[in-house]
Structure 1
Amino acid sequence: MKTVGFVVFPGFQILDMVAVTVFEVANELPGGPFYKVDMLSEQGGGVTSSAGVTVQTEKFDERRFDTALVGGAMGIPSSTPQLIAFLQEVSAVSRRVASICTGAFLLAEAGLLDGRRATTHWFGALELKRRYPKIRVEEDRIFINDDNRWTSAGMTACIDLCLAMVEEDLGMDAARMIAKKMVVYHRRSGGQSQFSALLELEPKTDRIQKALSYAKQNLKKELSVDELADAANLSRRQFTRAFKTETGQSPAKAVETLRVEAARSMIEEGNHSLDVVARENGFSDPERMRRAFIRAFGQPPQAIKRAARLDAA
C-alpha cells in the first residue's frame, strides 16, 4: 500500500483537502485499498484552515512516504524552519513530492524546485518567479511533473494533480473510473490553460450566456452574428449592443477567443494535425489559426504543440 503524507499548516486552504478524496475513491476500486493518507503538521493535533475548519493531524516524524504532498493557502503561505526542514528531509526518502496551489512556495523555499519546471495559482506565479529565479515557472499550467516534483495550479487543480498520480500508479482506466465517480471530467492535461474563455467573458444575462454556450458547442460552424442573435432570441441590433456591453468584446472577437481556447486544448490533449485542429474549430485554414494564436498567446500553434510533446515526454 502506498502512503501519502499530506502536510498542512495553520491557515491552509480547505479546498485542497479534496485531493484526499481522489485517493479515497481509488481505494474502492477492485484490488484496493491502494493508499493510506496521513495528515501531518509541525505540532500535530488540530490545525485550523483559513475557513475555520479544523482537521486532526499527526506531528512530523521520521516516517517514510511514497508521496509527500503539501497544501496551499489563500495567499502565499508563511513557513517555519521546522516545516522547511521536514520538507527537505521527506523529499529525500519519498518517491515523489508535490504541492497544491501556493504550496509551491514552500517547496521552492526548501530548494526542492531549483532547476525544474513548476507552476502555482496564477495570482502567485510572477511572485514565485521573482523570489526563486532558479525555477522555470510556467504560470499557465494546470499541473507539472518534473522528475517526480509535482506542482499544481490553485483550487480544484489538485483533483487533476492527484488523478494524474493515480494514473501513473494504477493506470488510465482507474483514473477515469475515479473521475466518473467524483462527477468531474477526466483529468485535464497538465499543459491545459488555467483560464477559461467563458469565465473571462463574464456574461451578465442568460441570453448572452446562451449565445456563448451555443458558440462553444458549434465552433466548426461559421457562427455569424445573426446566428448568435437567434440563439440569444434577440434582434441583431439588440444582440450586438448587449454583447458588447456585457463582455466588453465584439461577438467576432469572443468567438475567436473560444476557437483558440478549444484549438489549444485539442493540440495539447491529442495528436491531431494542425489542419484537422483548424478545421474542427472553425478556422478556414491553418494560417488564420496561426495568426489568431499569436494574437491570443504570443506564439504559434506549432510552439504549443512542441510544448505539449515535452509535457507528455
Structure 2
Amino acid sequence: MQRVGFVIFPGLSIMGLAAVPAFELANLADEQAPYDIRFISEHGGPIRTSAGMSVETEPFGEAAFDTLVVGGGTSVLPSTSGLLSLIREAAPRARRVTAICTGSFVLGEAGLLAGRRVTTHWMHARELQAQCPDSTVDMDRIFINDGPIWTSAGMSAGIDLALALIEDDLGHDVAQAIAKKLVLYHRRAGGQSQFSALLDLEPKSDRIQSALTYAKRNLHKPLTVEELAGAAHLSPRQFSRVFHAETGQSPAKAIENLRVEAARVMMESSRHPIDVVADQTGFADRNRMRRAFLRAFGQPPQVIRRNARGALASTEP
C-alpha cells in the first residue's frame, strides 16, 4: 500500500482536495486498496481552509510517504518555517513530491524546484519564476512531471494531476475508468494548454453555449452559420447578432479559435501528419491551418510540435 499524504495548512483552498476522490476511487476499484490516504499538517489537529471548512489532520511525524501532495490557496500564502522544514525532511523519503496550483510556491520556498521545469496557475506563473529563477516555469501547461517533482496548474488541474499519478502507478486503463466515474468529459494530458477558447468566449445564454458545444464536437465539418444557428434554434441573422453580442467575436473567428486549440493539442500529443491534423480539425488543408497558427501563436504548427517534443525530452531521465 502506498501512503499518500495531503499537506494541509491554514487558508488552503478546498479545491486542492479535489484530487482526493481520484485516489479514493482507485481504492474502491481494487480489493487491495493501493492507497493509504492521510491528511497531515505541521502540528496536527483541525485546520481551517479558505472556505471555512476544517480538515482533521495528523502531525507529520516520522512516517515516510510514497507521494506528498501540497495544495495551494486562492492566493500565494506565506509558509511557516516549520512547514518548510517538515517538507524538506519528508521530500527525500518520498518517491514523488507534488504541488497543486500555488502549492508550487511552497516547494519553491523549500528549495525543491531548483533546476526543475514546473507549472502553477497561470495568474501566478511570473511571480513563481521571479521567486525561483533557477527553475523553468511554464505557465501554459496543465501539469508537468520533472523527475520526482510533479506540479499542476490551478483548481481542477489537480484532478488531472491525480489521474496522471494513478496512471503512473496502476496503468492507463485504471486511470481512464476513474476519469469516467468522476464524470470528466475527457482526461487532459499534461501538455494541454491551461487556456481554453470556450472559456474566453464566455457565452451568456444556453442557446449560444449549445451552438459552441455542437461546434466543438463537429470541428471536422465545415460548420456554416446556418448549421450553428440551427443548433441554437435561431435564424442565421439572429444567431450572428446574438453570438457577437455575447462573445465579442464573429462565429467564424470563434470557430477558428476552437479549431486552432484542437489542432494544437493534436500537434503536441500525437504523431499524426500535419495534413491529418488539418483534416480532422476542419482546416481542410495544411496551409490554411498554418496561417491560423501564425495568427494565434506567431509560430507555425511544426514549431509548436518541435517545442512540445523538446520540452518532453528535457524531462525524461
Residue equivalent to 1:11: 11
Maintained 8 Å contact 1:45/1:58: yes
Residue equivalent to 1:254: 254
Residue equivalent to 1:128: 128
Residue equivalent to 1:170: 170
Equivalents in 2 of 1:187, 1:239: separation in Å?
Answer: 32
Equivalents in 1 of 2:257, 2:269: separation in Å?
Answer: 18
- One-letter code of the match for 2:252? A
Query: Match of 1:151, SS?
Result: strand
CA drift of 1:187 comes to 2.5
Equivalents in 2 of 1:205, 1:185: separation in Å?
Answer: 21
> Cα 1:211–1:181, aligned 2, differ >3 Å: closer, same or farther?
closer
Equivalents in 2 of 1:212, 1:185: separation in Å?
Answer: 15
CA drift of 1:186 comes to 4.6
Residue equivalent to 2:68: 68
Query: Match of 2:19, SS?
Result: helix
CA drift of 1:268 comes to 3.0
Equivalents in 2 of 1:79, 1:94: separation in Å?
Answer: 20
CA drift of 1:225 comes to 2.4
Equivalents in 2 of 1:6, 1:152: separation in Å?
Answer: 15
Residue equivalent to 1:187: 187
Equivalents in 2 of 1:148, 1:286: separation in Å?
Answer: 39
Residue equivalent to 2:42: 42
Residue equivalent to 1:235: 235
Query: Match of 2:57, SS?
Result: strand
Equivalents in 2 of 1:157, 1:84: separation in Å?
Answer: 24
Equivalents in 2 of 1:195, 1:111: separation in Å?
Answer: 28
> Cα 1:271–1:31, aligned 2, differ >3 Å: closer, same or farther?
farther
Which residues in structure 2 correspond to 1:1-313 (within 5 Å)? 1-309=1-309, 310-311=311-312, 313=316
Equivalents in 2 of 1:291, 1:5: separation in Å?
Answer: 47
- Residue by residue over 1:113-161, the C-alpha shift from the partner in whole angstroms, topping out at 9 and shown as x without a partner, is 1111111112111211222221211111110000120000111111111
Gaps of 5+ in 1: none
CA drift of 1:279 comes to 0.4
Maintained 8 Å contact 1:18/1:158: yes
- Residue by residue over 1:15-52, the C-alpha shift from the partner in whole angstroms, topping out at 9 and shown as x without a partner, is 21121211111112235211111211112100010001
Equivalents in 2 of 1:239, 1:25: separation in Å?
Answer: 43
- One-letter code of the match for 2:300? P
CA drift of 1:237 comes to 2.8
- One-letter code of the match for 1:311? L
- Residue by residue over 1:84-141, the C-alpha shift from the partner in whole angstroms, topping out at 9 and shown as x without a partner, is 1111111111111000111000001111111111111121112112222212111111
CA drift of 1:236 comes to 3.0
Equivalents in 2 of 1:153, 1:200: separation in Å?
Answer: 17
> Cα 1:24–1:236, aligned 2, differ >3 Å: closer, same or farther?
closer
- Residue by residue over 1:157-189, the C-alpha shift from the partner in whole angstroms, topping out at 9 and shown as x without a partner, is 111111111111111111112212222245210
Equivalents in 1 of 2:233, 2:28: separation in Å?
Answer: 47
> Cα 1:127–1:164, aligned 2, differ >3 Å: closer, same or farther?
same
CA drift of 1:209 comes to 1.8
- One-letter code of the match for 1:123? M
CA drift of 1:267 comes to 2.5
Equivalents in 1 of 2:217, 2:258: separation in Å?
Answer: 10
Equivalents in 2 of 1:68, 1:208: separation in Å?
Answer: 42
- One-letter code of the match for 1:184? L
Maintained 8 Å contact 1:77/1:103: no
Equivalents in 1 of 2:168, 2:209: separation in Å?
Answer: 38
> Cα 1:25–1:85, aligned 2, differ >3 Å: closer, same or farther?
same
Gaps of 5+ in 2: none
> Cα 1:221–1:117, aligned 2, differ >3 Å: closer, same or farther?
same
Query: Match of 1:16, SS?
Result: helix
Calculate the TM-score normalised by the size of structure 2. Answer: 0.93
Q: Cα RMSD over matched residues? A: 1.6
Deviation larger for 296-305 or 144-153:
296-305
Equivalents in 2 of 1:177, 1:214: separation in Å?
Answer: 25
